Structure 1
Amino acid sequence: MPVTEADIQILATLARYYVLTREQIQRLCAPHLASGRSLRKRLTKLRQAGYLTKHAMQVTLPGANGAAPVYYLTKPATELLASYYDDETYLSVSTRQPRADRLNHWIAMNKTRTVIEQGIALQSEVKLDRWINEWETVNKTDHAKEQFFLQTKLNEQPPLSCSPDAGFVLSLRGHKKVFYLEQDLGTSSPKQIAARKTKGYAELANRRLHRKHFPDTTLDVFSVLFVTTNAYRCKTTAEKLKTRPRPDLWLCIEQHELTPEAFLHEPITLNCQGERAPLVNPLETELETP
């Protein structure tokens, strides 16, 4: 099959996001299309050529009618991208099959990611320097044996690790701050989340191991953005975090308040003290540092 630039754009987008629905692919690659018919045909051709896999399970999204199919890359697709762009880092892009029970989680994370990217695109001061998802190789240019992921093993006994859903860096006027994303779909109670997640992040912060993930950061602290489904879970989780290790790291956000327009300068983050604030102070134009 002859590969077109439109095909390459779809494959490169999936390399960036790992797994997407057809609707998400259309919004990112072909927002001008009135319907998804032509894109569905293109996706079918890419599948038949061995560049895409359509997951056997579909995802059911809030507010949507019916379930949606999801797509991810194959190894031949990463080899094609590496050759097309003359960039070997594409060879380290994950092509593993997403777990069926994690599909909704991945799609929700990518929805959050696109909102953040759109928010950054609305202004010119704050830059999104890098985004790493949970299955993405952090140091793609290093030897395969030296490559690692965001998941960090901190102790053998007692076992302790930190497994962010994603991590990214925002830069503003010479400062670069690390943020980790925790995407919540309401499957665990706020108390369980606070008990399970905080120790790993606290130890990661105490050892400043975020600098291993993002060596260019200029700050010794990072923040964890906990994006959840509703106002109750946002408020309750913030309260439960108060008695856990390093509650200062956490900022809770209700998904419905997270819009491109609100992301940076509206008071949508809630800390463990019950205080709401913007991520970036519009007056001092400095990255919010708890």
Structure 2
Amino acid sequence: MASRTRDGLGRMVIPAVLFLAVAGCADPGAEQAAARPEAAGTGTAGYDPAAVLAEFDAADSAASKSGDGEKLAVWETGPALQNSLAGVKRARLSKRVLPGFKHQDPVFAVADSCFVTSAKMAVDGEDRPRADAAHFVRNSEGKWQLSHHVMVSDELVAATGVFPRATAHPTDQVLDAARRTALTGEVFNRSIAGPADTTVLARSAVLDDQLAAGWSIYTTQMEAASMKVDRRLTASEWAPCAAKTDDGIVGFLTLNVVDTIVSTRDGADAVLAPPAPDLLATGRTTAVTAHRIAVSRVEVFLLELPLDGGPAAVLGLTDAATEINATN
């Protein structure tokens, strides 16, 4: 598990796979995605998703490189925008310029008001493209925006490479409420290293060996620094569209969680100090000291659910701190 650590109070261990290398899209991930499909065209949905993606790449890549949060908000929304803004803040405080990016050989699962795409992601300065899966929605003004985005690991590329044979559907029509609820609870429970129910969700390298393992190390380190962290699920939401393939459903699940940090020493304050990644992601350069520190996070999971009812698989995920609140 790749991680970033620091010594002292407020130390953090965060899996490197969770950090976006490009504010809008690129992240450590995989190389090959799907084969080149035939031109998407406007189809029955009345728009050309390939044209939407090309326009997005040009504008959002430029906004990422310039670190312009207002321009990013034109092209992104929801958890994708929250992740991007965290990436911009980290880059600014680290005095880095985010690289540009471009999707290559995209394939699509298309509906009227949203679509899912799988593509290779070419990132400026990198030799090999990586696999990317994204979800776009059309807002009330008719403008297309990226709402969800996850890089996919090498061994799982095939799962999103089936989009040429996929169709997009409202998620709540292809996944019943009971299964959505069970998966939401299992994903959260596993993210904090809870007991695994592999009949609901198969064992996952990115979830169990990276995110959950990072959480376990983080809480252990905080205990050594006389602090404890409690993570609570505050909200969850499935992306509007899911891609239905010959074998299963590929969809995005977003979890909003809050980490509450307190001192275990009587009368002492909790401390979150640089260079903790959560401070950088929220644009802070100085330590936060308070009786109670609450870190809000957004986590996005790309899941594949077999049609035969078998356990789902986590294809990829992102995690970002979005806000820090201190209470004395």
- Same fold (TM > 0.5): no
TM-score, normalising length: structure 2: 0.22
Task: Using CA pairs under 8 Å that are at least 6 residues apart, name the structure with larger relative contact order, 1 or 2.
Answer: 2
Write 1 or 2 for the structure with the bigger share of strand.
Answer: 2
TM-score, normalising length: structure 1: 0.24
